[in-house]
Structures are given as structure tokens and as C-alpha cells.
Amino acid sequence: MDIHIKAPLDEETIKNLHAGDMVYISGTVYSARDAAHKRMDEALDQGKELPFDVKNNIVYYLGPSPAREGRVIGSAGPTTSGRMDRYTPRLLSLGLKGMIGKGKRSPEVKKAIIENKAVYFAAIGGAGALLSKAIVSSETIAYEDLGTEAIRKLEVVDLPAIVVIDSEGNDLYETASERFKKE
Amino acid sequence: MKTVNVSDITDAVKDMCIEATHYLSEDMKEALASSKEKESSELGKKILSQLEDNLDIASTDMIPICQDTGMAVFFVELGQDVHIEGGSLSDAINEGVRRGYTEGFLRKSVVSDPLIRVNTKDNTPAVIHYDIVPGDTLKIVIAPKGFGSENTSRIFMLKPADGIEGVKNAVLTAVKEAGPNACPPMVIGVGIGGTFEKCAMLAKKALTRPLNVRSDLEHIASLEEELLEKINNTGIGPAGLGGNTTALGVNIETYPTHIAGLPVAVNICCHVNRHATREF
């Protein structure tokens, strides 16, 4: 089923998303990947505030290529989510509601997704040119020294993604391959 | 004796960085198109179409196919009758990478120290493999490698008694573990034989062979075909969301090995299996 949703997310929207749904996300999302997650985690350890309020927000695991002159952003597809797993349960406990990436998540992340009623989306890995067309503005809001790994506030319009892990913990990666497996 | 100036090499490398990250080779495009015809998952078909659209957008609008424009890996065949003038060949290649990644708006993804992790901001240094060959030709192949798939690559030091079944299991184990993380449909480069490091090199080099060219060795060519079928039967599918297009091709390179060993390296690449070649 194709569903159009708004970011930040609300409880009702999340409840109605199921593993396998095709979604088009519009609104504000924040890009962060390895180095930004590490810094956010260290900030929390030191009792400091995060560069943006994660509550109800979606994080896009993204490190874009540089924008050409006059453009918003360069190539902008998802990176592998699993590398963020060790930082994710803490962000979910603080109210983060959505993640866009690609690839498998750890049991700890799945548990935290269920406990905090969140959702994990996959965007198509390696389709960075196509996905960049859904990003209409980009502003670096923190950790500028990290270059591509800085945190960016992105406005997106109909960013295509697929619900992989829903708020009940159903995991599309586990079920999808079984359907097409041949021995 | 042929003389090649380093400034010509730098210029060529700069162009190769940009070319490889914006255009895929014809064999890759053909493999994507024919897999779409055979894909039985509707979602899988849709994803494969999106990947084709992505390639069109990349080349038309000059946006890299994937934001991970990779670590720049080179295979250089230097004819022993070639004289390089004007400086160091490695420096010339690295200068080409620096200019290609900066002027071509490519992502800088290299950190100077694996533990301290400060971005070098120009994607250098490259990883350069040299081979000295007879003749007076300098051949440079670039294969920018993304790390979503690189991280899922494996090496297995098998026993001779594990034989061909052991090799098949090793490849399938690596592919199944990689699953959606490696951005399927994947291209699988396999090295069999040699030593630990030689085997890994063979696997990487295998990725640069066109997908429509099978191994010269009959038993290896049939192993490539059998493994491709087995990989596609895992059901992982495009983007790992189910289907029968899990890999677009399996290329295997072999080398003599020790009486005690059977090394197998599996270098996994995503559907953005990029390379460009120049000869001087």
C-alpha cells in the first residue's frame, strides 16, 4: 500500500504503518551518520543538549555528496543503518520516532523500536541521484567540521521509502526473502 | 621505450574519477535490464526500475549514482618499457584523485588514520595495486569502492579437503550475511587460491571483469554460473526486500596455492559496480 506521511511523525501515523508499506515522506528530517551519532552520544554522556530535539523526529542515515553550484544537495541515498545500532536505543528513549537507512538492525534496536513505538524505513540503497530529487532544502545545523557527516536539517517532499520494521516489531527483511527462496 | 608525463596521468585520473561515479559500463546496464525481465517480485521489479531511473538521472544531471563515491582503488599495469617522467607515478594518481573528487563534486570519504578518524577532505590517499608487465603500455583501471558492500566482504582460509563444496558454502555464507546491507543486487568478486593477501586482491580484481565475460577456465566458468543461480535462489532480492535478483554476476579469479591451503575471498560489491580504464 502506498501511504503519504508527514515528518515529524505522530502516534496515529506510526500505529498505522506496517512492514511492507511503501511510504512517501514529506516534511523535515535530519541527516546524521556514524560520526554525528558518536558526537551526539558523547554530548548526552556529558549532560549536554543535542543539536536538535529528536522528539517525534526522523533521522536519515545519510552522508551526501557535495552539491553542484545552484543545487540543494548532491547524491543522497541511505547508508547502512547497522553501524548506528549502538547509539540508537538511547535516541529512541529520548523520543526519536523514525529512522531512514538500509540494512538489518540489531535485536536491541528492534526491542527499542517496539518499546518506544517507533518505525524503521529503508530507502533504496545506491539510488542517491534519484533520492536527491526529493530533497528541496538542506541546512547544516551542527558539526560542520565533519563535512559529509555533519547534521543537516532537510526538507523533503515525497521521499520514497519502505517500512521495514514497524512499531510492533515486524521485520520485512526476515519475511520477504523467505517468500522467494528456492532450495 | 615510451615516455609518459605525470601531468597526463593526473588529468586522466581526474576524468576517470568523475566518469566512473556517474556512468556505469554497458555490461552492468545490460545485466540490470535483463534481471528486471526475470524478476518475479513486483516490488523487486519496481526497485530495479528505480535503479535504472537513478542511472539516467546520474548521467543527465551529473549527480553521482551513489553518494558513497568510494575509496579510489586502482589497478595499474606498468609496461616495463614505459618511462614515467616529471615525478612519482603514485603522486600523480593521488593528485588526479584529489582533483577529481574536488572538482567533480564527489564525496570525500577517507579518514587519515583508521582510529583517530579525521577526514582528509580530498579522498586521498588512493589504494593502488601495481603490476609490472612486458611491453610499453601503461594501463590504469579505477574501481571506486563503496563501503556498504565492502564491509560485508569476507575471507575464508579453507582446508584442501573442503574442496569445491567448501568454496560454494563460503560464497553463500558471505552473501547471506551481507543481505540487505550490501545494496543488492550485488556483484560478487571471488578469489580462490594464492595466499591470504593475494586471494583478497584476486577477489577485488574479479569485480573489474565485465559481467558478460566468463572465466577462461571451464570448471571456474561453470562454478560462476552455478553460484549465481544459488545466490539468486536465496530470495534476498533487490534491496533485500525479496525476489530472485540478488546478484547480477559472479566473477572468479584463481591462482596457484599451497599444498596445505584453499583460501577463498569474497569481495561483495553493490549494483553500482564502477570502473573506468585508460591506456597510455
Distance from CA of A14 to the nearest CA of B (A): 21
Domain that holds residue A23: 2-180
Count CB atoms within 10 A of the CB of residue B217.
13
- In which band, very low, low, confident or very high, does the pLDDT at A2 lie, cut at 50, 70 and 90? confident
pLDDT tens for B9-42 read: 999 999 999 999 999 999 999 999 999 999 999 9
Q: Is the pTM of this model over 0.90?
A: yes
Q: What is the DSSP letter of B242?
A: S
Measured from the Cβ of residue B197, the count of other Cβ atoms closer than 10 Å reads 12
DSSP secondary structure of B154-223: EEEEE-GGGHHHHHHHHHHHHHHHHGGGG-SSEEEEEEEEE-HHHHHHHHHHHTTS-TT---SSHHHHHH
The alpha carbon of residue A22 is apart from the nearest alpha carbon of chain B, in Å, by 10
For the stretch A8-30, pLDDT in tens is: 999 999 999 999 999 999 999 99
Task: Give A75's contacts in chain B (Cβ within 8 Å).
Answer: 58, 63-67, 69, 107
- Of A66, A124, A178, Cβ closest to residue B239: A124
Q: Establish if B243 touches chain A: CB-CB under 8 angstroms.
A: yes
Provide the shortest C-alpha distance from residue B33 to chain A (in Å): 16
Phi-psi label, residue B163: left if phi above 0, alpha if psi -120 to 50, beta otherwise: left
Q: Is A183 on the interface with B (CB under 8 A)?
A: yes
For B57-92, what is each residue's pLDDT tens digit?
Answer: 999 999 999 999 999 999 999 999 999 999 999 999
CA-wise closest residue to B43 among A31, A70, A22: A22
Report helix, strand or coil for A128. Answer: helix
Contacts of A24 in chain B (CB under 8 A): none
pLDDT of residue B155: 98
| pLDDT value at residue B15 | 98
Which residue in A1, A22, A31, A80 has the most chain B C-beta atoms within 10 A of its own C-beta, making it the best mutation to test that interface? A80
Residue A183 scores a pLDDT above 80: no
Q: Quote the CA–CA distance of A102 and A128 in Å, as a whole number.
A: 12
Of B257, B267, B264, residue with least CA distance to B164: B264
**Distance between CA atoms of B177 and B175, rounded to whole angstroms?**
5
Q: How many domains does chain A have?
A: 1
Determine whether the interchain pair A129/B64 forms a contact, defined as Cβ–Cβ distance below 8 Å.
Answer: yes
Summarize pLDDT for B197-245 with one digit per residue, the tens.
Answer: 999 999 999 999 999 999 999 999 999 999 999 999 999 999 999 999 9
Residue B177 — pLDDT band, cuts 50, 70, 90?
very high
Residue of chain A with shortest Cα separation from B65:
A129
Residue B129 bridge partners (DSSP) = B75
* pLDDT for res A156: 98
- Compare CB distances from B107 to A63, A82, A162 and report the shortest one's residue: A63
User: Shortest CB distance from B66 goes to which of A128, A172, A182?
Assistant: A128
- Report ipTM for this prediction: 0.94
Chain B CB within 8 Å of residue A180 CB: yes
Locate the chain B residue with the closest alpha carbon to A174.
Answer: B241
Asked if pLDDT for residue A1 goes beyond 90, the answer is: no
Residues of A in contact with B105 (CB under 8 A): 65-68, 74
CA-nearest of A80, A87, A139 to A104 is A80
Q: Given the DSSP bridges, would you call strands A135-142 and A119-122 parallel, antiparallel or unpaired?
A: unpaired
CATH number at residue A98: 3.20.130.10
Closest in B54, B64, B242 to A65, CB measured: B64
What one-letter code names the amino acid at B225? E
Q: Is A104 exposed, middle or buried (0-12, 13-18, 19+ CB in 10 A)?
A: buried
